[in-house]
Chains A and B, each alone.
Chain A
Amino acid sequence: AQSVTQLDSQVPVFEEAPVELRCNYSSSVSVYLFWYVQYPNQGLQLLLKYLSGSTLVESINGFEAEFNKSQTSFHLRKPSVHISDTAEYFCAVTNNYGQNFVFGPGTRLSVLP
């Protein structure tokens, strides 16, 4: 069975500061990793994903995440956050595209002016 841990339930950060949202997973087999974002009162949107190849993946809005197999981590980072990045961020893992999709508990990012 797989599991996902997001150690930080809430992360407050000032605008233009860097941020890292941590995600660790456990799995006995190869995994595919995802980050989803949920803006206030909205559904979930896929932010970025790791399937294979380069361990560093990027999104169109400046976020990046690095797959670290030895540390079983997939931390999400952004060098300079904006007020509009305030949202809930969910890390997710699956060992099969369509099955056994497990979400972490989420991290609430609050960007302060």
Chain B
Amino acid sequence: SAVISQKPSRDICQRGTSLTIQCQVDSQVTMMFWYRQQPGQSLTLIATANQGSEATYESGFVIDKFPISRPNLTFSTLTVSNMSPEDSSIYLCSVLPPDGVGYTFGSGTRLTVV
């Protein structure tokens, strides 16, 4: 299965600032996904990052708040903009393997906004 490197692994940020999270995959994948896991909760899909086109956002998430880049088939970034304490979460990058069977996840970025 694909190996995903995600960084930073954790960060503490001031409110009003932005943080960019990077996701690197060791193989080419068509779709990459960004999830949020709020404290004590399950995972919520933020958006699907498509190479060569704009990301597709889920209900409740907008591009101005969570801009995504997908410059090639192995890399994506998610920016959390104008952060507030409510953005404190774990952000996870994931991909579908070539056989399309079950997501593979990165180790996540634990973000704390103070």
Contact = CB atoms under 8 A, between A and B. Distances in A.
A and B interact = yes
A105 B40 CA distance: 9
A44 B102 contact: no
Interface residues of A, number: 18
B106 A90 contact: no
Give the interface residue-count category, chain B: 20 to 34
A97 B98 CA distance: 11
Contacts, number: 42
B76 to A, nearest CB: 15
B102 A34 contact: yes
Contacts of B102: 34, 46, 49
Interface of A: 34, 36, 41-46, 49, 51, 90, 97-98, 101, 103-106
Interface of B: 1, 6, 31, 41-43, 45, 92, 94, 96, 100-108, 110
